Amino acid sequence: MNLIAFSRWLESTALSQAIQTTSWAIPGIQVIHILCLATLFALALNLSLRVAGRGLVLESSRALAERFVPAMGICLILLLVSGALLILAEPSRTITNQVFYIKMILLVTAIVLTLWLANVARREPEKPSRLHIALAVLCMLVWTGIIVAGRYIAYYIS
Partner 1 sequence: MSTAFLEWLQGTPVAVSVAEEWFPLVESVHVITLAIVAGTIFLVDTRLLGLSSTRLPFSHVSERLLPWTWIAFCCSVLTGTLMFMANATGYYDNTPLRVKMVLLLLAGLNMLYFQKVTFRSVAAWDGGRAPFGARLAGLISMGLWCGVIGFGRWIGFVIGK
Distance of CA 14 to the CA centre of its chain: 27
Q: Can you tell me the distance from the alpha carbon of 147 to that of 37, in angstroms, rounded to the nearest whole number?
A: 8
Query: Per rule CB under 8 A, is residue 63 in the interface with partner 1?
Result: yes
# residues contacting partner 1 (CB under 8 A): 31
Q: Which is nearer to partner 1, 29 or 95 (CB)?
A: 29
Residue among 71, 86, 91 at smallest CA distance from 34: 86
Smallest distance from partner 1 to CB 39, Å: 5
Q: Can you tell me the distance from the alpha carbon of 144 to that of 140, in angstroms, rounded to the nearest whole number?
A: 6
Residue among 110, 117, 112 at smallest CA distance from 134: 117
Query: Per rule CB under 8 A, is residue 27 in the interface with partner 1?
Result: yes
Show the binding pattern over residues 115-154: x = contacts partner 1 (CB under 8 A), - = does not.
Answer: -----------------------------x--xx-xxx-x
Residue 95: φ, ψ to 5°: -55, -35
Binding residues for partner 1 (CB under 8 A): 26-27, 30-31, 34-35, 37-43, 45-46, 55-59, 63, 67, 71, 144, 147-148, 150-152, 154-155
